[in-house]
Chain A
Amino acid sequence: MIKPLISFLCLFTLVACNPIETDWLSPLKVGTEDVREITLHRLSTRQIILEGGNGKYHANIADSRIADIKLRQDTLTIKALLEGETFATVLSHDQQARIAVKVTYPELSFSTDSIRLYPKDQSKFVSLFGGDPFVKIIENDPDDILDVKWNGNTHLLEINAHYEGEAEITARAQSGDEKKIKVLVKAEDEPREWGIYGTGYRSFGQSLSITNLMVVHRPSVGTWISSVANPNGGFAFTYTGTVLKIDPIADPREGTYIDLVLTKQAGPNVEISPGVYRVYVEKVTDSGVMLRSRRHKFYLPYDKTSIKP
C-alpha cells in the first residue's frame, strides 16, 4: 500500500519540478502594449493593467522618492513624486519586467492662448501652469505696446497694454518646452474720418494727432491734413493751423508694410512729427486705407493706379 503512494508522490514531484511547466504561462506584459518606459508629470498618476505571468504579481520601485508604486491584484499604480528617473520592477512567477519611470515637470500651458486688450485698459492676468522653476518669459513685442510682469510665485502673468498692435508672449521651460500666447491690443472702434490718430486710447473719438478739419486728396500728388479750413494754414483766433502732407499711397495691399512720408507744410508742431513711417497695412476699403505704425493709426485716401477709370 505504501509503495504506490511513494510512486505517486515521486511522479508528482517530477511533474511539479519539470521546468517545461513554465512555458504554459503567457509572457508577462505591462499593459496591452507592454510598456517599458513611462513618463509622468509630477504628482500625476498612471494605472496599468498587468497581463500574463501566473496572474500573481509583485512590484517595487528603485527610488521611492521619485515615484510611489502600488499593486492591487493586476493593477499597477505609479504616482510621480519628484522630477527624476528611476525604474520599477514587476515580478510574476519567474518572469520580470523592468519599467523605466521618468518624472518630468508638468507641461507648460497658459490659461488661454490669445487675449484681446484695449489700450490703457486695466491689466489682465493670465495663469501659466506647469514648467520648471526656471521658466523664462520672452516677449515678441516689436512695437513695444505691452508691459508684462511675470510672478513666478503665483504663476501669474500681468499684461498691460499701452498702444494698439499685436504681440506674442512665449513661456519657455528649461527643457525647451514652450507655449505661446497671442496678444491683440485694439481700440473698441475704428477711425471713421480721414486723419491721423494716436493708438494709446480705448476709442478713436478723441485721439487725433492733428485736427482733421480739412483733408484734401489729390490723386498722384498726395494728401493734406490741415487743422484749419485752409490748406495753407493760418491763424484761427486762438491757435495757428498746421498742415501736414502725406506722399501718395498707391494700391496698398493688406498685410504688407509700406513707408509713409510725412512732411510739415505749415504751422507749429503737432503730436506727430514729420518723417518716414514704416506702417502696416491693416485694412483697405474703397473709402480709404487703414495703416498702423508704432504709435499712430492713419486712415487715409489712396490712389488706385491699377484700376483704370
Chain B
Amino acid sequence: MDIVIVGSGKVGFSLAEQLAKEEHNVTVVDSDEEALHRAGDQLDVMTVRGNGVSAATLREAGVDRADLLVAATNADEVNMVCCLTAKDLGAKYTIARIRNPEYTASVAELRRNLKIDMAINPENSTAVEISRLLRFPSAANIETFCRGRVELMGFRLQEGDFLVGSPLYALPDKVKKLSLLFCAVERGGEVSIPNGSFVPKAEDKLYMVGRPDSLDQFFRQLGRYAPKVKQVFLVGGGKVSMYLATILDRMGIRLKIVERSEARCRLISERFPRVTVICGDGTDSELLESENLTASDAFVALTDRDEDNLIISLYAMQQGIKKVITKCNRQNYAGIVRSLGLDSVISPKFVTASNIVHVVRGLQNSQGSVMNSLHRIAGGGAEAMEFTVGPGTKHLGVPLKDLRLRPGVLLAVIVRKNDIIIPEGSSFLQKDDRVIIIARGGGVLDLNDIYGSEPAGGAGA
C-alpha cells in the first residue's frame, strides 16, 4: 500500500519502521531536516521536506494516490488540517493523532466534520492499557479478544510453582479441565510456541489464552491470585496520568498522584477532587516513603523521563509492591529492563504504532478474512490476532489433525457463537467462527496465511 506519514517524531518514526518492514511504500513528510535524515538513512522510505498542511508538499509526497495518510505531528491542529487537505487531494483513508484532552470530548464531531477516518490518542490508549493491567494484577500483560470473552495473559514463573519442571502434557487434571491454552513462552529473550512436551522453567514468561474465569481459576491454583487493586500510587502528572485518573476514578480506585509542577497539581486537583495530589519530586525516595508508598497495591511510573521511571519502579519493586507498571518509550533496552524483573513496561509509541499497523492490515485485507484485532506480545516477538472466518477461508470443516499449519503459528482459540473452544485434533473451522491465532515473529496478514505450504488433507469447501 502507498502510505504517507506526516511527522517523523517518536510515533511517526516507529510507525514508518514497522510499515516499511511490512513492504509498504512509505513516504515520510516533516519540516525538520534532521528528523527526515534519520528516517531516510535508517529506513527504506522516501522523504519529503515541507509542512504537512501545505497542499503542494502533500501532493509532492503523492497523497493523491495514497491509500492511507497518518498525521502524527506534535500539533493536533496541524494533524487535523493535514487530514482534511489530504482527503480533498484524494487520500483514501486518514488517521490523525489528536491527543489534547480538550479535544477528546468533541472528537466524534471533529472526525465527522474534518473527514478524519480515525483519531488516535497515544496517551489515552496508554492509559487504557495501564488500567487493564491494574484490573488484573496477577498478570504482567493482558490483552482481550472477542469483546472480552477471551483473554490473553502473560506471567513470569517462579521457583516452586507446580508448573516448573514437569512437561505440559503431565499437568494435573484440575488444570487440564480449565478452558485455557499455553500459547507462547519467552525464555532469555527468545520467543517460542510450546507443545505438550515443553518443560517450563523458573523465570520463563508464559503466555496463556482462554476464558477469563478459567484464567482467574488458574492463578488461584498457582497461589498467585492477587486481590483487586484498591489503592494506586502514581508518579508524574502528565497527559497519560490525567486519562488514567479518569478511568481509575470511575472504577472507584483510590489514587495518589505525585507531580513536580504546582500548576499541574492544581489542575489535577480541580479535575479530580477525590484524588490525593502531592506536589513534589517523585524521584525522591524520602518523599515516596513519607507518602507511605508501601501501603499502596500498585505503583505506576509516568514521568516524562524513561530513566526516572525505570529507577523509581525498581525502587517500588524493592519496597515490596506487588504490581509495578513503568512507562518507557525506548524499546531498544526492553530486554535489559525485563531481565531486572520489571514485567509491565508500557511504551506509548509502541502502543500507538501497533494500533495503526492493525488498521493498515485491516485495510489491506478488507475483502478476505477480516482481522479484528492485533496485539503484539512478548516484547514484539510474537503477535496475537483475532480473525473472523469468511467464505474465502480455506479448509473449512476439515479436522485440524488433517491440516498442516505453518511452523511458528498456533491456532489458539475458536469462538463459535457462545462457545469458547480450545482446539483439539478433531476441531475444525466453519464460517463466522472467530479464531485467535498466535504467530511467532508476525507475518500472518490473512487467515489463509496460517496454513503450511504443502496442502495436507482434502481441500475444504
Partners in one complex: no
B-side interface residues toward A, CB under 8 Å?
none
